[in-house]
Amino acid sequence: MKEVDARGYSCPMPVIMVQKEVKAGAPAELDVLVDEKCAVENVTRFAESQGYTVTWEAKDDDFTVHLRK
């Protein structure tokens, strides 16, 4: 499974990083690490527009967004 570590980046960079990964190989599963709730919402919106099912979980100050097809 692929993982994108977008912690420390402000929007729209996390979404751009996910876009690159999706365009590069359209992975069936992708985990995205972010540290802002806004990034969770924006990555979720993009991923759902690409046909992914999205779940997320919070741990300390970080979030893991799970994308699945």
In this model, does residue 12 exceed pLDDT 90?
yes
User: Which are the catalytic amino acids?
Assistant: 11
Cα–Cα nearest to 43, from 65, 23, 27, 21 = 65
Q: What is the mean pLDDT of residues 27-45?
A: 97
Q: What is the mean pLDDT of residues 38-47?
A: 98
* pLDDT reported for residue 1: 85
Q: What is the mean pLDDT of residues 21-43?
A: 96
In this model, does residue 10 exceed pLDDT 90?
yes
Confidence class for position 40, pLDDT limits 50, 70, 90 = very high
Find out whether 42 and 17 touch, Cβ atoms under 8 Å: no
Q: Which domains are seen in the chain, by residue range? A: 2-68 (3.30.110.40)
CA 37 to chain CA mean position, Å: 11
